[in-house]
Amino acid sequence: MRVCVIGTGYVGLVTGVCLAHIGHQVICVDNNQEKVALMQSGKSPIYEPGLSEIMQSAMTAGKLEFTTNINNAIANSQILFIAVGTPVLPTGESDTRYVEAVARSIGLAINGKYKVIVNKSTVPIGSGDWVRQIINSEIEQRNLDQAPQFDVVSNPEFLREGSAIYDTFNPDRIVLGGNSKQAIDLMQQLYQPIVDRAIPPIDSLAELSNQTIPVVVTDLSSAETIKYAANSFLATKISFVNELANICDRVGADITQVAQGIGLDSRIGSKFLQAGIGWGGSCFPKDVSALVHTADDYGYDAELLKATVEVNTNQRLLAVEKLQQVLKILKGKTIGLLGLTFKPNTDDLRDAPAINIIQELKRLGAKVKAYDPLIQSAQHHPVLSTINLEKTPETLVEDCDALVLVTDWQEFQSWDYIQLAKLMNTPIIIDGRNYLNLDTMTAAGFHYIGIGRPTASNSFVTKRLQKNNTITVSNQVA
């Protein structure tokens, strides 16, 4: 089938590349010329495991191309995906201006045979009808003899950054929302190779499961709601376990044991039960906020979702609070961050907890250093120009008074912490993801502090801290 994907970010590019890989003829459109030039040269503008490999092979096979010419791409395709960003506005609602601009472009260029317009972007409930209306109003102004025929389908995306290719070929479900049988039938045809597991092999991809992929067909607004409901549930589950971790911290229980104990209950499940310094990224914060806003529009106060957000906002600064508990004064101290991205295997810094932690540490007068395997230059985010970005574990920890593990990148498991401890002023680590082994870190000489876990103090560090704090107190008295 001939497919056009408009917007080549984390979702659009992955969708386009994967559809080309299963044999469709795909044209990806973006209004960012630099990005398009990069993709035309066979390079991916984003980091996603396996993406470059299948992108290049689909291009070589003549199945995938990139353009800034939206009119030609629309005119020559049967299925048109809208996959542009829907960031959050200061009011909490979704900024739908990019979706609107694309819908207008479709209305201006649509012609020929029947087309399906697919809302892949996460859009406020009711947007399917809104997109149809915008396209129709543009068509009307063209005074055509025969109006082009089309339907709008909602096809929310559930991929996880960092495993986006695997998730696209191995989805838990495919959701198709719409009122037209013709459109839903075409969408089912589009995804049939994925449902049938007829996917040409990819070297770098983990083996796909053999489980049946359910296709859930709904009306438009239910499909739109499913996306918000899924992300809000997952965010709430994390906020729940984080709240529990804070209680564990106070009563002396260990959240990792508690999570294991409750996660084995099949009604609860063990996924998304890892306590830490909170959720972030480009989806959870804006999607929960958009659902709260929608509820508000309809006179409903979504109290549980508001609490989910509030718990998360506080959780992000828990690492700073723990630093204050152990180091007391942060002014003049040097703190090293392990990881910056909101989760491993992505270069995405959108709404990452690291940003809030950096801002708070700077506000309190600390010097901040950071090491992230993928973020090596300040151009990724303005706040990075206020810190030292380090390229090795040794330069990161050198002269640090404490470390904070912000992202659970796998390479942090294999660092030589015995050597690193020796390079620090005080070998203290706040493990914001409960990712490192408490006993190993203690044996390496660290004073290890997790989230919701009892702390095994290292006597050497404790003595050094006591000495430093005594000096501080006596200075103050003097």
Hey, what are 286's tokens?
């804006």
Answer yes or no whether residue 32 interacts with ligand NAD by CB under 6 A: yes
Residue by residue, DSSP assigns 135-151 as HHHHHHHTT-SSPPPEE
Q: Which of 256, 274, 282, 312 binds ligand NAD (CB under 6 A)?
A: 282
9 binds ligand NAD (CB under 6 A): yes
Residues numbered 48 to 67 that lie near ligand NAD (CB under 6 A) are: none
- Taking every pair of C-alpha atoms in the chain, what is the biggest distance, in angstroms? 91
Residues 102-141 that bind ligand NAD (CB under 6 A): 102, 121-122
Instruction: For residue 30, state whether it binds ligand NAD (rule: CB under 6 A).
Output: yes
**Residues in CB range of 127: below 8 A, 6 or more apart:** 96, 99, 119, 154, 224
Could you give the 3-state DSSP secondary structure of residue 464? helix
**C-alpha span between 77 and 118 (Å, rounded):** 12
Report how many helices (DSSP H) and strands (DSSP E) the chain contains, helices first.
Answer: 18, 14
Q: Contact between 8 and ligand NAD (CB under 6 A)?
A: yes
**Judged by CB under 6 A, does residue 162 bind ligand NAD?**
no
Specify the residue, 12 or 393, whose C-beta has the smaller distance to ligand NAD.
12
Question: Does residue number 161 form part of the binding site for ligand NAD (CB under 6 A)?
Answer: yes
Q: Which stretch binds ligand NAD (CB under 6 A): 3-11, 243-251, 316-324, 448-456?
A: 3-11
Minimal distance in Å, beta carbon 127 to ligand NAD? 10
Binding segment (CB under 6 A) for ligand NAD, from list 28-36, 52-60, 189-197, 210-218: 28-36
**Radius of gyration of the chain, Cα coordinates, nearest whole angstrom:** 25
**Closest distance of CB 46 from ligand NAD, Å:** 7
- Please name which of 60, 40, 50 lies closest in space to residue 14, comparing C-alpha atoms: 50
172 closest CA partner among 211, 225, 133, 200: 211
Q: CB of 292: closest distance to ligand NAD in angstroms?
A: 16
d(CA 76, CA 63): 14
Among 18, 80, 152, 159, binds ligand NAD (CB under 6 A): 159
Q: Reply yes or no on whether 28 is catalytic.
A: no
Q: Is residue 283 near ligand NAD by the rule CB under 6 A?
A: yes
DSSP string of 6-55? E--SHHHHHHHHHHHHTT-EEEEE-S-HHHHHHHHTT--SS--TTHHHHH
Residue 6 near ligand NAD by CB under 6 A: yes
How many Å apart are CA 410 and CA 68, to the nearest integer? Answer: 37
* 294 is a contact residue toward ligand NAD (CB under 6 A): no
Q: Report whether 337 contacts 407 (CB < 8 A).
A: no
269: which DSSP letter? -
Q: In angstroms, give the least distance from the CB of 68 to ligand NAD.
A: 8
x/- mask, ligand NAD, residues 66-105, rule CB under 6 A, reads -----------------xxxx-----------x--xx---
The least distance separating ligand NAD from the CB of residue 77, rounded to whole angstroms, comes to 14
- DSSP-derived letter for residue 94 is B
> Binding to ligand NAD by residue 280, rule CB under 6 A?
no
Active site residues: 283
Rule CB under 6 A: which residues touch ligand NAD? 6-12, 29-32, 35, 83-86, 98, 101-102, 121-122, 157, 159, 161, 282-283
